[in-house]
Chains A and B, each alone.
Chain A
Amino acid sequence: MANTAVATGASTRPNYGSMSRDRTWALRWSYFFLVLFAIFFLMPPIYMLITSLKTSAEISAAKNPWWISNPTLQNYIELLTQNQFLVFFRNSAIVSICVVIITMLISVIAAFALARMKFWGSATLATGVFLTYLIPETLLFIPLFKMFAWVNEVFGVQLMNHWWTMIILYPTLTVPFATWIMIGYFASIPKELDEAALIDGATWMQTLTKIFIPVALPGIIAATIFTFTVSWAQFLYPLAFTTSTSELVLPVGIVTTLIKGDVFNWGQIMTGALLGAAPPLIIYAFLMDYYIAGLTAGATKG
């Protein structure tokens, strides 16, 4: 909206020579620096791609690292036919999808309760949810490590070294943020809407599903994408709590199994890293505007 204002402002402004020349130069400089920054921002992923298309002999030869003399898809073929890598991928996919579902169920319902219905301590809870977002997982993994051992002793349930444990753990990282986004969206919906529905005899649940969810759909999509990205990228919890190769998720699997202490195969490591980065990148490519809406939700609404 604001940018259309800029654009129209520029075109309708009469052509005093200096003013428009200033603008042209400002524009040129802007493009120049944007290109510089784009190089800086895109260099690592591009280098990943370049390396992933090389054979290990070419990498060892240490010639021009930015040029591929014998492009090959061998790394991709090897990795994608390797059972282990597909297991990582499957684990990551199941975990991320489950976490997204759980997170959205918990946070949409709770956000509705917090934004629209009052109960004893709801204000404190809303603040509390926000505060838990500030507690990093680096603070929690050591007590969790010990808690899991205790759960195993008392209940006989082994939480250590299972990929599905991540389905329990990741929502602690995603739910606060998703709830926060949703509270913001719900708060922006006019109150007359749900009052009218309630007077017409709708239940709270119906109000939520028939009115709030459809209206807040962009927010829900944004929160979903965000949740997916966070659970796909999570590194510390799986590193601390899973060990067997059949239980690893993608980022940890790539870092720990493709890098083998003494022997290095950077072509495959970069291929793995690129494939690991692919799902969020693809989702992002299609749903960029929702993603950005999710990121800036706090900024524009809160």
Chain B
Amino acid sequence: MGSNKVNRRRFVAGTAAASAAFVAAPFVRGAYAAGKLSVGFWDHWVPGANKATEALVKEWADKEKVEVSMDFITSQGNKLLLTTAAESTAKSGHDVLAFSTWLPSRYADQLVPMNDVVEPLIKANGPVNGTVEYLGKVGGKWLAVPATSGSQIKGPCSRIDLLKKHAGIDIQAMYPAGAPPKADGWNLDTFLKAAEACQKGGNPFGLGLGATSDSVDTAGALFHAFGAQLVNEKGDITVKSDPVRQALDYYKKLMAFLPPDVPSWDDASNNKFLVSGQGSLIMNPPSAWAVAKRDAPQIAEQLWTHGFPAGPKGRYAPFLPFFWGTWNFSKNQSAAKSLVTHLSQASSAEKMVIASGGYDLPAFANLTTFKVWAEEGPPKGTLYHYPNPHNHQTLSIAAAPAPHKIAEQIYTQAIQTQMVVRFAKGEAMDKTLDWAAKELEGFSRN
């Protein structure tokens, strides 16, 4: 018992010394040799993509002599969200955890600021986009580090043959591989006409209108294209405004050309719709294409990932970042920061991008031109425009720029897609807006 106590005291002193050393010189290595580190990553949807992360962690662990245990936690059924909630309540858990979109701001009080990690990364790899900054930096503090693994743009992925056949659109000419897009005519009107033509031809567009992130992200980007905000950055409810009405009107027209069951779609439904050969366009990162490559190669050859159509207020595409963060109750914060730094280096990011077949998207501006995107195929160059290499579209997140607490609720309760479905199913515009306003009022509760 006695010796045990001494040990613990020595251990506490040791960690204190380590953190003191850490404050003085942030990236001194080898100061946490005694440490154990547990890490919870997002369980990647692309088969085999976890391997790169595993290898990188092992590389770091061997170098630093730290024993690392890794969990890959799926976001399916909100499992990752649940894990985060459980760890925050129990005040114990992983030392490094993947925080999805809204969670850094939700747990702002319990996270260790990461400015000393993020700022050097920005210096080395270029600035991050506005969405990442909105989600990850609150009150001047970086709450977590933008992660490569799992971050994604959910742009359109279309069937080259079907768009040509039904709508007369040559999507490869509009978004040529290796060159800037020539897509000035690619706007919401063209999009609507193409949706109609494809639906008439028997291969509708597959835009989900359910409550999961794929559906919400698409709706969010289209709302942004109209400048439609449900709540503004000051927290005022602005749902009863003309841009919101325009967005709903547009969506109502669009929904007539979508499959009737889109309100129940989850993140897998659109992929299945495309891979089964029924659909001609979905909004998704390249995982649908990756599955098609495995299960239905003849369809994969006809897939092309490209940019969003432009609306009256601009061209927006949904960007869904993941973050790596550390709880303030973590016992080994310095090691955690060191690991995250290691995972965020350009070379690490490239390894993750390659392993995920181009799915993962680093948040830093200089890291969007890896060779893998230009080379992946078939068809060759299908992913060239996926990382938005020519800054052709504004990367956005649904419900921004509302205050985080409200925006998160708008996002997770899928208020935008619910509004669309209500209105498109024949509810009066004012009734839909009233309903939304009432829900939004509830979100400001604390």
Contact = CB atoms under 8 A, between A and B. Distances in A.
Asked whether the complex places CB atoms of A and B closer than 8 A, the reply is yes
Interface residues of A, number: 31
Given A243-B86, A262-B284, A262-B287, A152 B71 contact: no
Given A257-B74, A263-B287, A263-B291, A243 B82 contact: yes
B277 interface: yes
B268 interface: yes
A256 B77 contact: yes
A89 B363 CA distance: 39
Contacts of A153: 91
Nearest to A152: B90
Contacts of A152: 90-92
Nearest to B47: A263
Nearest to B82: A243
Contacts of A158: 90, 92
A274 B40 CA distance: 29
Given A60-B275, A152-B92, A256-B76, A263 B43 contact: no
A57 B276 CA distance: 10
Interface in B232-281: 266-268, 271-272, 275-277
Contacts of B87: 160
Contacts of A243: 71, 73, 79, 82-83, 86
Contact of A145 (B76, B89, B266, B272): B89
A148 interface: yes
B123 interface: no
Chain A interface, >50% SS class:
helix
A60 B86 contact: no
A245 interface: yes
Nearest to B71: A244
Contacts of B43: 257, 260
B271 A262 contact: yes
Interface residues of B, number: 40
Nearest to A145: B89
A245 B266 CA distance: 23
B268 A261 contact: yes
B93 to A, nearest CB: 8
B294 interface: yes
Contacts of B272: 264
B83 A262 contact: no
A225 to B, nearest CB: 30
Nearest to A246: B71
B86 A241 contact: yes
A67 B288 CA distance: 26
Nearest to A241: B86
B169 interface: no
B75 interface: yes
Contacts of A123: none
Given A60-B275, A255-B77, A263-B291, A149 B89 contact: yes
Contacts of B89: 145-146, 149, 160
Contacts of B267: 261-262
B45 interface: yes
Contacts of B275: 60
Contacts of B90: 148-149, 152, 158, 160-161
A263 B296 contact: no
A102 B43 CA distance: 35
Nearest to A61: B296
Contacts of B83: 161, 243
A257 B290 CA distance: 19
Contacts of A160: 86-87, 89-90, 92
Contacts of A211: none
Nearest to A243: B83
Contact of A261 (B47, B76, B296): B76
Contacts of A261: 45, 74-76, 212, 266-268
Interface string B281-322: 000110110110011100000000000000000000000000
A244 B73 contact: yes
A259 B77 CA distance: 9
A262 B92 contact: no
Contacts of B370: none
Interface string B125-163: 000000000000000000000000000000000000000
6 contacts: A149-B91, A160-B92, A243-B79, A261-B75, A262-B267, A262-B284
Q: Which 10 A-B pairs have the closest CB atoms?
A: A60-B295, A243-B83, A262-B287, A262-B45, A261-B267, A160-B90, A244-B71, A149-B89, A263-B45, A256-B79
Given A239-B82, A256-B79, A261-B267, 11 more contacts: A60-B276, A148-B90, A161-B83, A161-B90, A245-B73, A259-B77, A261-B75, A262-B268, A262-B287, A262-B291, A264-B271
